[in-house]
Amino acid sequence: MSRELTLRDALREALLEEMRRDETVFLMGEEVAQYDGAYKVSKGLLEEFGEKRVIDTPIAELGFAGIGVGAAMNGLRPVIEFMTWNFAVLAFDQIVNNAAKTLTQSAGQFKCPIVFRGPSGAAGQLAQQHSQTFESWLGNVPGLKVISCIDPADAKGLLKAAIRDDDPICIMESEILYGHKGMVPDGEYLVPIGKAAIRREGTDVTLVTYNKMVLVALDAAAELAKEGISAEVIDLRTIRPMDYATIIESVKKTNRIVVIDESWPFAGISAEVAYAVQKHAFDHLDAPVIRVNSADTSLGYAPTFVEEFLPNPTKVIKAVKEVMYVTR
């Protein structure tokens, strides 16, 4: 049995269930308690778990991220919410230099089971400082795992798995898709970290993507179907470790691939996927790997800038036709 839930409520259920299951789990961040979360993901948690376990912080990302790291080293399982990953840049020292390094520096003496989570990516006309993605930044760092997923059922199962995982994990959600609905199974379940999902099966071209670009890819695939082009859509779900096997297997079937990646093009997720495909499926490719990224610029405020900046179905369809050598 399953029910329709928003991404926001699915994430809230994950937190609720894990906090009920394990007393060492606590939630800390700006506005997570009395305000119910800037995006209402933590609605009602203060009421059930009290101030000890649902903790409003001052605006001090570096400080409370570090407090989370210390608490994790000393036996707790913190979930640290950033109002947006853009603000988490202030905390990157703690994420990159400490959470990711604790286990190796201490040669296994101290683990750091912590979850950093919050929305990532452009969310309308929010301009330069509030429209960035960080999957590739953090995915670059050994010691971290990175999850980026907006499917409500999978996001719930992944957050639960992340809270139980003994390694430090960064989870990217989406500001504009907290209200996005999907069918969520009843009862207890986990989604494995490090496994991609095939959202739509196809035979002519593979579309690899993640987070809200999955919806862009699915829209493009639906349009392409009308023209007789069958696109397979892979949702990476986890960025690090990446599920290369699912990508390679798909490319061996379709012989063509387009990567749709909201991050900037330079040294990003799309580049990583392209490398893996040319390395492991070179002889299966009938066209170069093509990527559709956000523009190699900061995002300005005007609606025309947003339109120009982000990948959209039209851009994806154009890219697919390029790898299909279709000129119409």
Partner 1 sequence: MDTVVEKKPGTKKKSAASAYGKEQYLFWYELMLRIRRFEERALMMYGQQKIRGFCHVYIGQEAVSAGLESALIPGDGIVTAYRQHGIALGRGVSCRAAMAELYGKETGIVKGKGGSMHFFYAANKYFGGNGIVGAQIPIGTGIAFAEKYKGTNNLCVTMFGDGAARQGALYESFNMAMTWKLPVLYICENNGYAMGTSVERTSNVEEMWKIGLSFEMPSKSVDGMDPAAVHEAIQEAAAHIRAGHGPYYLEIKTYRYKGHSVSDPAKYRSKDEVQQYMDLDPIKTVEDLVLSKKLASEAEIQAIKDRIKEEIDDAVQFAENSAYPDGKELFTDNYIQADYPYITD
Residue among 18, 130, 180, 232 flagged as catalytic? 130
Strands 145-148 and 181-185, by their bridges, are unpaired
Among 39, 49, 64, 305, binds partner 1 (CB under 8 A): 64
Nearer to partner 1, 103 or 320 (CB): 103
> Which range touches partner 1 (CB under 8 A), out of 29-37, 103-111, 148-156, 173-181?
103-111
How many residues are given for the chain?
328
Judged by CB under 8 A, which of 1, 34, 142, 226 binds partner 1? 142
Of 6, 98, 270, 312, the residue at the interface with partner 1 (CB under 8 A) is 98
Spatial CA neighbour of 193 closest among 215, 164, 218, 213: 164
- Of positions 3, 20, 21, 279, contacts partner 1 by CB under 8 A: 279
At 297 the three-state DSSP class reads coil
21/279 with CB nearer partner 1: 279
Tokens of 132: 């960035």
Nearer to partner 1 by Cβ, of 179 and 241: the residue is 241
HSE-up of residue 148 (Cα within 13 Å, Cβ side): 32
Q: Which of 73, 122, 155, 213 binds partner 1 (CB under 8 A)?
A: 73
Note whether 268 binds partner 1 by CB under 8 A. Answer: no
| Of 136, 316, 124, 149, the residue nearest 229 (C-alpha) | 316
Q: Is 61 a catalytic residue?
A: yes
**Which residues in the 234-253 window bind partner 1 by CB under 8 A?**
241
Check residue 105 for interaction with partner 1 (CB under 8 A).
Answer: yes
Q: What are the two backbone dihedrals, phi and then psi, of residue 55, each rounded to the nearest 5 degrees?
A: -120, 115
Query: According to the binding rule CB under 8 A, does residue 310 interact with partner 1?
Result: no
- According to the binding rule CB under 8 A, does residue 47 interact with partner 1? no
Q: Are strands 231-235 and 197-200 parallel, antiparallel or unpaired?
A: antiparallel
**Is position 139 an interface residue for partner 1 (rule: CB under 8 A)?**
no
Residue 52 within binding range of partner 1, rule CB under 8 A = yes
- Helix, coil or strand: residue 282: helix
Tell me if residue 7 falls in helix, strand or coil: helix
Categorise residue 148: left if φ over 0, alpha if ψ from -120 to 50, beta otherwise.
beta
Is position 284 annotated as part of the catalytic site? no
- Map residue 77 onto helix, strand or coil: strand
Q: Which is nearer to partner 1, 230 or 244 (CB)?
A: 244
What Cα–Cα distance (Å) separates residue 156 from each residue in 7, 11, 153, 195, 326? 8, 5, 5, 15, 39
Cis peptide bond prior to 241, omega within 30° of 0: yes
108 belongs to the binding site for partner 1 (CB under 8 A): yes
- Closest approach, Cβ 135 to partner 1, in A, equals 16
Size of the site for partner 1 (CB under 8 A): 44
- Please list the active-site residues: 61, 130
Contact residues toward partner 1 (CB under 8 A) are 26, 52, 57-58, 60, 62-76, 78, 93-94, 97-98, 103-111, 113, 142-143, 145, 165-167, 194, 241, 279
